[in-house]
Structure 1
Amino acid sequence: MSIHFVVPFYIDPRYLFELIDSVRKQTRDDWRLTIVDDQYPGTAAADHIAALGDPRIEHVRNAKNLGATGNVCQCMTMGQEDYITVMGADDALEPNYVEVVLDAFARHPDAIMVHPGVTVVDDDSVPTDSLADRVKRMASRSAWRRGELDGPTAARSLMKGNWLYVPAMCFRTDVVPRVQRLGEFGSIADLGWVIDMLLGGGTMALDPTPAFRYRRHQGSHSSIGAKDVARFDEEQRYYGAAAVQLSEHGWRKAARAARLHPLCRLHATRSALDALVSRDLKLASSLIGRSLRRV
């Protein structure tokens, strides 16, 4: 059993070099690594990988720039081992990631995905703790106590509030084709992928052992446009589609949670308050309207 790390790359190469180093320091050698270069200017990444001379690491360059979401979606389809992890180019692994994840799959034979413990770090790789991360911990508390969630339970929990760090997650490669709308929902697409996979059967295994370093900084995709009305519109469009999808599958409690999506609406409320503080009344009004809207 082996993990294929597939990394969409279009960011400061110094973070990529840290990522590569963290993969090479794994306590188990059951891995391969592919860097998918989305036409990043220069050859620093390719040169660095060539200089390492490590046959487990390959660099491929897209023929044209696909953009952040397009490249991530492409990476999801490129798994060539038993398991696949599509991590951000600014993230990194703890030395035990492969060991923790493969052991979790071995303990939970019905699992189609594993979520290990995550440490959030800043630009300088120092552990940090933002409001978003504190909210995720609150939303996920009961889930992590269980250790393994069946599909309906996981879906209900995630529709109440998306507490996942999807770049840290490892998936069984053979279930990835279950994803129905790979690139449709942009900022919330990865939640959709997880739900699509779970709807096909299987469980989510959770191991709280810290094994992944997730970088949160102002230049990250998750931070850009955090107060953008379009983002909330996109998220609500997803929750509406998910409510229908889950209801048709008979997961009624999860469907109801999707229609309410309370944490998403709370986020809109918080962003509205920030807009008021900034005296952007138009943005505040738009966000308040979305915080009151159910799907």
Structure 2
Amino acid sequence: MTEAPLRLGTRRSALAMAQSGHVAEAVTSRTGRAVELVEITTHGDVSREQLTQIGGTGVFVNALRDALHAGEVDFVVHSLKDLPTGKPEGITLAAVPPRHDPRDVLVARDGLALAELPAGSRIGTGSPRRAAQLRLLGLGHEILPIRGNVDTRVGYVRSGKLDGVVLARAGLGRLGRAEEVTETFDPLHMLPAPGQGALAVECAAHDAALVELLAGLDDSDTRAAVLAERTLLAVLEAGCSAPVGALCEVAEGEQVTELYLRAVVANVDGTDSVRLSATGTLDEAEKIGRELAAELLARGASGLMGERVP
């Protein structure tokens, strides 16, 4: 008797469908189980307000988890950067697949890089983190808030309404649109959101067979890196829309695998920031994140996160 297809809950956006499609293919390839996508609309998808106005944390996640609790789907896929840092009751993070390029990119008019756009150029982003770091560069650009999917955001540039928009390289890559990138930002100038470029695969914690099946998708290096980043975010008590950037990279040494965690906290008007880094071994991911967050707070990070542009 053929087993019923596994039901994978996903947001309806083109990017979410592409991400979930990759996970579905990986599950089928590894296990032979068929997977069908179940489209779910989240609050973040239907609201046109800025994420900071509708709560930010969990707006793309809660409806998927509700469907999981209700038994409407067997597992769900999120962009890991959208996950709240708190542990949900009855749900486990079964797999963190290998991470795609976590860096931010610019899509600008005429193929230009950020420094080639003159002062006063209009740059769009829906992220306080990106806005803060763009202003910190001191190039005199006008940073404007935007919402919408990749098509909508890039469309602002194609129509001439904006001179450029900042997006995640991983998203454009998963959509097969990496050729539209005009500049990839060095993390020295623009640190990504904690967890950016990674996916989170969740299922019911009590479903031991499914937990074991999905564990085959897990990448231990990616899981350790995002654990460090998300621990830092949790200790800072900052949500996914806070002006916090963090990137943990895995370096293979001759004798030990080392983690290198960098983080920045900035005020959104771009007048002040705290930027620090830390290193440690792979099994110290949580410790590194916790200690670096404590050091950021000691340097005044809490006050920076509370400030807003008038």
Report the TM-score when normalising by structure 2.
0.31
Whose helix proportion is higher, 1 or 2?
A: 1
Report the TM-score when normalising by structure 1.
0.32
